[in-house]
Amino acid sequence: MQAQDDTFPIVKRLLSENAAEYAPKYAVAFIFMGIVAGTTALTAYMMKDTINLIFVERSTQALTWIPMAIAAIFLVKGIAAYFQEVILSRIGNRLVAQMQKRLFEHILKMDMAFFQKNASGELITSISYNTRGARDMMNLLAVGLGRDVLTVLGLVVVMVMQDPIMSMVLLFIGPVSAIVLKSLSEKIKKAARSETSSVSTIISAMRETVQGVRIVKSFQLENTMQKRMDTSIEAVERLNNRIVGVKARVNPLMETMAGFAIAAVVTYAGWRTLQHGQTPGEFFAFITALLLTGEPLRRLSRLHLQLTSAAVQVRMIYTLLDTPAAEKEQPNKLLLIVDGGEVRFDNVAFSYDQKTDVLQNLSLLAPAGKMTALVGLSGSGKTTILNLVQRLWVPQSGTIYIDGQDISTVSLDSLRRQISLVSQDVFLFEGTIKENLVTEDKKYTEEDIIAAAKAAHADDFIRDFPKGYDTPVGELGGMLSGGQRQRISIARAFLKNSPIILLDEPTSALDSETERHIQAALKKLTLGRTTIVIAHRLATVARADIIHVLESGRLAESGTQRELLLRDGLYSKLHRIQFDQLEAS
């Protein structure tokens, strides 16, 4: 728990960022709130004439105009309340939408290290759940400071007009309530933080269950996942019950104090009527105004507690937004101009955790327009090289060049437009096949899309679907086979038409027939392009122009397959082991 209540700084920042944009709309809402408050106060004031003129003086004229006036007052109040609610709801929905867009845009600019540190469940919770806290906070302030404060002020004016002395006595109740309510806000804040954390756990458990349903069912993990989900849900339930328990203390407190206040008013007003002959109209107007202040006062008494709860959510949003965006483009970055696409590593060192070196002063060359293969045992740094070329990570030392240009000095957009990745882990977005092929803002014709699919040997199976290119692929491409997903990935690379191609185990775990089609597509894709390929199957890299053999983040040897086999080094050893295994099987 923080040492002090930082709800006010959160409120101040939210207002400073949004007040100017929404001020005109809130001004209109405040006008309708003022009408609601004024008509509420006028209702209490009307009780004086209602009692004195109708029930005491028995005026026939008053019996005509007073009911009509009351009906008109409530009609105006109802219309004003409707427009007030509609305007505030639209402002709130707009605020949530803009906050979600802003947060998502910021997350997209974060680097890989950020996504490793932050669980996806927490990020989903922030953009879907915590952003509502901004709307709640703004609406609480608008309604609390607008309708409720104005209503209470109007009713206080009515009470002071009827009996100033009694009104002054009742005003002392406010500070006493504030002292009691302050202690409750800290409990609300602590419980709200825990609730948000538990909600993200529920989202994470649900996401993992849906995406990993095959593993869940294959390994009979239903009970394990159910227990995990039950634990998270029960934690949220307990926290919600705790929050409700704390908030529920407000009403009894206010009701008790209101009871004492009303009892004092009745005693005092009765004494004034019996001893001094005061007309009952003033008393009924006063007591009506007092009773009508009950609900807005209860809302105002809960305002700080509700703001504290909302501030926890908004604070989490600002924590994300204040995290520096590692991939935010700098205005002075140059554009990468590719003429051939030669990739060169010069004494590059890299570590994911700043402790264990993955690459150690690595220097290697991928010639322009040629195929370069990376070979080595798992953990030798092959995938890291592909990550560094795309600047998904930044090396601790050394320089990576493309056609002689240091990639750290060029814009990310211009760099990644020149590179296409075909990976063993094909990721397809939920949508249609066509939507997964077109991955850039660039507009493609129908002929371009079909040509790319044909080049990737994907057009035939796509047309076999009833909806063709408009066939939904399902979540994570679950409606397609592994080979079909891989060919769509290759078609995506054809459509992008980049001069540099990165292939990360593109034919792993495929049957021979599917691999044959994909190998044919890859041969066409890589023709004349700078290609860096990772493959454990050495048969895949046999046609490479140069092979770099990696060992523990260092370059062990380089050459063509023939040269490396004649050298009888590490590559030759890996080659013998793999082909001995094939013969044994």
Q: What does pLDDT average to in each consecutive run of 10 residues of the chain (585 residues)?
A: 62 86 88 89 83 78 84 90 89 88 87 81 80 86 82 83 70 57 57 60 72 66 78 76 66 64 68 65 75 77 77 86 82 86 94 84 93 89 92 92 93 89 83 82 81 88 90 85 86 88 76 75 86 79 89 91 89 78 52
Give me the pLDDT at residue 2, please. 42
Q: What angle do CA 79, 85, 86 make, to 5 degrees?
A: 90
- The set of residues, in sequence order, having a beta carbon less than 8 Å from that of 49 and lying 6+ positions away, is 62, 66, 281
Express the helix, strand and coil content of the chain in percent, nearest 5 each.
65, 10, 25
Instruction: Please state whether beta strands 500-504 and 397-402 pair in parallel, antiparallel, or not at all (unpaired).
Output: unpaired
Burial group, residue 31, by CB count within 10 angstroms (0-12, 13-18, 19+): middle
Residues in the chain: 585
How far apart CA 356 and CA 354 sit, in angstroms, is 6
- The set of residues, in sequence order, having a beta carbon less than 8 Å from that of 1 and lying 6+ positions away, is 186, 189, 190
How far apart CA 517 and CA 303 sit, in angstroms, is 65
Tokens of 290: 């007092």
The CATH topology of domain 7-197+247-321 is ABC transporter transmembrane region fold (1.20.1560)
Residue position matching structure tokens 């402002």: 91
Give me the pLDDT at residue 510, please. 62
Cα-Cα-Cα-Cα dihedral sign, residues 518, 485, 423, 390:
positive
Yes or no: say if 364 and 548 are a contact pair by the CB < 8 Å rule: yes
Sequence ranges of the chain with CATH classification 1.20.1560.10: 7-197+247-321
Angstrom distances, CA of residue 409 to CA of 128, 345, 348, 530: 36, 15, 16, 21
Q: Quick one: which of 79, 88, 76 has its CA closest to 27?
A: 88
How far apart CA 44 and CA 288 sit, in angstroms, is 5
How far apart CA 322 and CA 458 sit, in angstroms, is 44
How far apart CA 558 and CA 252 sit, in angstroms, is 80
Sequence ranges of the chain with CATH classification 3.40.50.300: 341-418+498-510+523-585, 428-496
Q: Quick one: which of 518, 522, 431, 438 has its CA closest to 480?
A: 431
Count of other CB atoms within 10 angstroms of residue 318: 18
Angstrom distances, CA of residue 263 to CA of 43, 258, 290, 295: 22, 8, 11, 18
How far apart CA 67 and CA 49 sit, in angstroms, is 11
How far apart CA 72 and CA 108 sit, in angstroms, is 54
How far apart CA 452 and CA 525 sit, in angstroms, is 10
Q: What is the DSSP letter of 367?
A: -
CATH superfamily of 341-418+498-510+523-585: P-loop containing nucleotide triphosphate hydrolases (3.40.50.300)
Across 454-467, b (16+ Cβ under 10 Å) vs e yields ebbbbbebbeeeee
Residue spans of alpha helices (H) in 163-249: 164-170, 173-211, 213-218, 222-248
Instruction: Please state whether beta strands 530-534 and 371-376 pair in parallel, antiparallel, or not at all (unpaired).
Output: parallel
How far apart CA 181 and CA 196 sit, in angstroms, is 23
Yes or no: say if 359 and 531 are a contact pair by the CB < 8 Å rule: no
Global pTM value: 0.74
Tokens of 301: 């008494």
How far apart CA 19 and CA 25 sit, in angstroms, is 10
Match domain 428-496 to its CATH number in 1.10.10.10, 1.20.120.160, 3.40.50.300, 3.20.10.10.
3.40.50.300
Give me the pLDDT at residue 406, please. 94
AA identity, residue 281: G
Give me the pLDDT at residue 556, please. 92
Residue position matching structure tokens 């070329």: 389
